[in-house]
Structure 1
Amino acid sequence: MFLVDDSRSMEPHQKKVAASCQVLSYLLKKGEVDPNATFEVYFTSSHPPLQSTRTSELKDNIEKMLFHEDQCNMAPSLDELVSKAIQNKKPVSIYVLTNGHWNLKNRDNFCGVDGPIKRLVTHVRRTNE
Structure 2
Amino acid sequence: MAESGVIPIALDTATGNVRPLLHEIRHALTRLLNTGEPTVIDLGALPLSETELEQLQAQLGKGEVRAELHALGVSLIQETRYSGVWLIRHMNESQESAGMFIEISKMPELLYAQMEDIQDGLGRLEHELNEQPPF
TM-score (structure 1 length as normaliser): 0.28
Q: Which is helix-richer, 1 or 2? A: 1
Higher relative contact order (CA 8 A, sep 6+): 1
Q: Which structure: larger Rg?
A: 2
TM-score (structure 2 length as normaliser): 0.27
Q: Which is strand-richer, 1 or 2? A: 2
